[in-house]
Amino acid sequence: MKTKRKFLTAVLMSVFLMGLMTGCDALKETDEKILAVVDAYKSADSEAFFKKMESNSASAVGLECLLDSVKSGNTEGMNAVYQKVHELTKDVEVSVEKTDSLDVSVTIKTKDASKAIEEAMLAAAAEGPEAFADMPGWLLEGLDNAVDKELTCTFDSRNPDLKGFSMASNHEFLEALTAGAYPYLGCTMTTCIDSADESSYYMIANNDTVHYSTDYYFLSLEGLEYTDADLQELENEISKELVNSDGIQSGILRGDNYLAEYMFIHYDEASNFTLSQLGLVDSGNRSAEISLKATVSGFEEEGMTCETTDFGSGVIEKRNQK
């Protein structure tokens, strides 16, 4: 009996020691775990960060690329955006209110560029295709106009699958942690050109979901003898068809040899009713999302040429690996 008791004691001790080595994080208070997430972000420690936050989420890829980029010091393309985001937020101050609740109150003092980024994106859309296609360019412009901000948000500390805190449930926290750039970190830019009718389409997507797009429709004035009055009348006619509502902005571009109409859409803000009127979603599906893959497939069937880039961020490669 003593031999059996010694054996059981040894087994229990080994299990306890293993818990100390591999599971001691589970013994930590929630506030310590949240602050550990912040510390890992500030030191660009991707491994430590994703021990606390779920790494299998589609939205995790952008943050993973940001942290890896900061460690590497790469400043090309989208990596310049990553460096700027981290520069703005590496001294972020975070305080956590201790509580027994799974919804934890977190106060963050940081830089915020969310509004400035959106303004820069809209300005780029109104400037023309080349400006809008340069996603790193308008992101950097927005980040250059970041402002001081203090906000309090709710951190969801639920961890049912032991895979880390939810990325989706803590979107507001992660957006604050990244100066408002979080929604764009894992995005790609897809360009589709229709040379037949001189139109072009630009889609910003995270994985397969399109969140923003700008379409351009060009009318060539080459060889046409339009007077200023004729052009103004033409602009007035086009203006009657422009759509401007929540999440949608359209306008007219005028160059030496062309007139163009553009339409910018933020799909997360535009109403399904308006999108269905434009023929972009089924009006019966209130939770419709625009699939990048399906949209590109449809465009290519119509003879368009499409190309997707991540501006060297590494997002496409990491998603392919996963």
21 is a domain residue: no
293 is a domain residue: yes
Tens of pLDDT along 219-276? 887 767 777 787 777 777 777 777 778 889 999 888 778 888 999 999 988 887 788 7
CA neighbor of 319 nearest in space, from 188, 145, 172: 188
Q: Is the pLDDT of residue 17 over 80?
A: no
Specify whether the CB–CB gap between 33 and 25 falls below 8 A. Answer: yes
Identify whether residues 217 and 254 lie together within a single domain: yes
Tokens coding 133? 């296609």
Give the phi and the psi of residue 249 in degrees, each rounded to 5: -140, 130
Identify whether residues 148 and 225 lie together within a single domain: no
Residue that finishes a domain, picked among 167, 184, 201: 184
Least trusted range by pLDDT, from 119-123, 164-168, 229-233: 229-233
* Residue bearing the bigger pLDDT, 119 or 196: 119
Give the phi and the psi of residue 297 in degrees, each rounded to 5: -60, -45
CATH at 261: 3.30.1830.10
Tens of pLDDT along 299-316? 999 999 999 999 999 999
Identify whether residues 122 and 233 lie together within a single domain: no
Find the Cα–Cα–Cα–Cα dihedral 167, 172, 175, 180, rounded to 10°. 150
Find the Cα–Cα–Cα–Cα dihedral 51, 82, 57, 310, rounded to 10°. -140
Identify whether residues 274 and 171 lie together within a single domain: no
What is the model's pTM? 0.86
Residue that finishes a domain, picked among 184, 215, 240: 184
128 is a domain residue: yes
Q: Is the pLDDT of residue 18 over 80?
A: no
CA neighbor of 165 nearest in space, from 66, 275, 34, 256: 34
N-term to C-term CA, the chain: 52
Identify whether residues 89 and 204 lie together within a single domain: no
> How much is the average pLDDT of 4-16?
42
- Domain boundaries, position 216: 187-321
Identify whether residues 169 and 199 lie together within a single domain: no
Residue that finishes a domain, picked among 184, 204, 225: 184
Specify whether the CB–CB gap between 166 and 107 falls below 8 A. Answer: no
Concatenated DSSP letters of 8-32: HHHHHHHHHHHHHHHSGGGGS-HHH
